[in-house]
Every structure is written in C-alpha cells, then in structure tokens.
Structure 1
Amino acid sequence: MSNNSVRFSVSGLADLEKSLSNLSKGVGKSVLRRSLDKAAKPMADLARDLAPVDDGELRDSIKIGRKLNKKEQNGQRRLAPEQRDAVELFVGPSYLLGAGGRHGHLVEFGTAPHDNKGQFAGTRHPGTAPQPFMRPAYDAEAGPTIDRLKPILWSEVEKAAKRAARKAAKAAAAARQGD
C-alpha cells in the first residue's frame, strides 16, 4: 500500500467473526475480499467522478485492488501469524505501467515549482495546483463504506456457508455410492 493509505478496523462484530471462523481460511479470506470490493465500489466510483479529465487515463485507472508489490509481500511475511489473515484493499489510481495512473499523486497533491531536466533542461516548471479527487472521495465514503460492509459480509458468509453445505452433502453422497 502507498504511504497515503488508510487502514480501517471494524470491531463489534463477534457473531460475524464466529460465522467466518466456521469457514475454511481460504473461503473466509475470499468472503472478506468480495465484501470489501462491493462495499468500496461507491468510493471508487466517486473518485472517478471527481478525478480531473484530460485524456481520461487517470479516471479510468482508478481501481479497487489487493495485489501486493514485492516490498508489501516481504512485509506481509514478517507479520505475526494472526495478522497474516488480514485482508487489505487499495482504492485509487493504478500505478502499473500503462495503466494511466502513475501521476495520480501529482494531481492529488500538486507540484512545487521546479527546474526541468532532460529535454527541457534549463527551463523552469511553474508547478501545478492540487486537484484532489481521492481524499474527497474518502471523506465522503469512508463512513458509508463501513456501514455497507456488515450486511454485505453477512450475505457473503451465508452464501459461502450454503455452498460449503452443498459441497459436503455432495461429497457424502458420493462416499455412500462408493461403499
């Protein structure tokens, strides 16, 4: 995650946590990821609406993601075992080469006047004014995202439990036929 990331901690969901613990570790993480994706979608949509549009690449690069880069993967390995089960989510411009969002932080925070280098060496860039789009989206949607999360999580847990029950019943039926 970037230095400008924000972490959420949701507490007071003991029943939900108990239901999640009844699922396998992989299924539980998958349920959390799907739920977070759904809950954060309005925040990403608002950020896209607020992003300045020049050629549209910055706006189109705003994604909901969870892919860790090498540095983040190494950090994840150093976490205590109980922290490794955490699910993190990124909402913002994709910094992948070709995604169009590599300059998102420069747009969000602006740039100071500076001397140009390379082909424009010897000239001075006047700087750019900040055009925030992520922070206003976060400010408007952080609370509602958390509010949306609980019912979405319950729905996803129930679906996963039903799938697991169907799978177990199918396996039991297959075992009986094999006897």
Structure 2
Amino acid sequence: MARRGEVWMKLDGVKELQAAMEQIAVKSTRTAVMRRALTKAAEPMRAKAELFAPRRFGDLADAIQISARSVGEVGNAAYSAFMKDAAMDAKSLGTTFDAASAKAGALDAMISARREAKARGVNPAVAIYMGPVVSAGVFYAVFQEFGTKHHTPDPFMRPAFDAEAGPTIERVKPLLRQEIDKAVARIAKRAARGR
C-alpha cells in the first residue's frame, strides 16, 4: 500500500528482460542495474518538476532530486514503535530506560517487519524517490504543492508526474535492456581477465 505522496507502478511484459537479468549472478549488481535504469527513466520527470517549481524562493527547484534512499521504509515504523513502547513501559514502571537493550529489541522488530513485508511482496526489490530534499532547507515544499489555509496550492510535482508518467514507463524497458547489457559485458570482461 502506498503512503501519501507515493505512487507505485508495475511493469508488465518483461519476461525477456527478467531472463537476461538472471545472467547477473550477484543480487547487488542486479539491484544497481535496475536502480540506474529507473533513475535514468525518471530524469525527464525530475527536470519537468524543477521547471514547474515556483522560483520565488530559489532553493526549491535545485532541491528536487532522484534518490534510492527512502524515508520511512518498511521496518522503520516497527523500530520506532518498539522504542516508544520500551520508553513508555519504563516510565509506567518507574524504572530507567535501558536504551541499549531497547535498541537490540527494536532492531529485531525492524528485521522481522522487513522479512514479513518481503514475504508478502510489499517491499519492492528496487524503489527510487523523487522530490525536494527537505535537508536542503526546503521544508516548505509540501506547502507549495498542497497549499495551506493561508496559501493556495502551487503544485509542481503532480503536474510533472501527470506529464511524464506514461513516457517514463515507456523509457524503462529500453533503459533496463541497455543497463543489463552493460553489466553482462562488464562481468564477461572481468571473467576474461580472470577475476
């Protein structure tokens, strides 16, 4: 299930690409191949969002990036909930909060949540995120996009998505084929050198 502001897309009809991907034995290399293809496919959408971003403040357009990092990815909620429960339990019992043991339990909860999500097929193998990076000092991006009771919306991400969603999906297959071919060629070259 997508969180607010997330859009999930499924690409069908890629059996030949999947077979080609199986030539790449190392999972991290397969992940990198998919991530590079998705990032290249999404670049025109990022550029359009940058073009649509309001220029009154200047920083917003420059802060729109494509990233493989996720905020609040599967497991983080379980980690936070465990830490919060441990702190509340310590407070209600009148004992001191043992952060070290709570952290160990929270890590176990996070790992379990990720394994369960993967078994249910909830956590995708590769995900990219596009939008303003809040750490760049553009906390106001959400207010620009959706508005407030004092400020009408001035969307920039949604129009970029609406304009580029279809073309982005169409770009994925050829870019994925190109990235798979490059990775297979690199692997063959390394094998020929005896690595």
1:40 corresponds to 2:42: yes
Measure, in 2, the Cα distance between the counterparts of 1:85 and 1:92. Answer: 19
Measure, in 2, the Cα distance between the counterparts of 1:14 and 1:156. Answer: 16
Aligned to 2:174: 151
Aligned to 1:176: none
Write the deviation string for residues 26-69 of structure 1: whole angstroms up to 9, x where unpaired.
11100000001100000000000000012211111100011123
8 Å CA contact 1:63, 1:94 repeated in 2 = yes
Measure, in 2, the Cα distance between the counterparts of 1:95 and 1:150. Answer: 31
**Secondary structure of 1:80's partner?**
helix
C-alpha deviation, 1:2, in angstroms = 5.5
**Secondary structure of 1:18's partner?**
helix
- Tell me the matched-pair count: 155
1:8 corresponds to 2:12: no
Aligned to 1:72: 73
**Secondary structure of 2:131's partner?**
strand
TM-score by length of 1: 0.80
Measure, in 2, the Cα distance between the counterparts of 1:82 and 1:5. Answer: 19
Q: RCO (CA 8 Å, sep 6+): is it higher in 1 or 2? A: 2
C-alpha deviation, 1:85, in angstroms = 5.8
Residue 22 to residue 82, structure 1, CA distance change in 2 (3 Å)? farther
8 Å CA contact 2:66, 2:130 repeated in 1 = yes
- Which aligned pairs between 1:112-151 and structure 2 lie closer than 5 A? 112=149, 127-151=150-174
Moved more, 155-164 or 87-96: 87-96
TM-score by length of 2: 0.74
More helix by share: 2
Aligned to 1:18: 19
Task: Select which of 56, 61, 65 maps to 1:59.
Answer: 61
Residue 159 to residue 149, structure 1, CA distance change in 2 (3 Å)? same
8 Å CA contact 2:70, 2:129 repeated in 1 = no
Aligned to 1:120: none
Superposed CA RMSD in Å reads 1.9
Q: Which runs of 5+ in 1 are unaligned?
A: 113-126, 173-179
Write the deviation string for residues 115-156 of structure 1: whole angstroms up to 9, x where unpaired.
xxxxxxxxxxxx001001000000000000011111111111
Task: Select which of 96, 107, 116 maps to 2:144.
Answer: 107
- Output the amino acid matched with 2:145: E
Q: Identity, % of aligned pairs?
A: 38
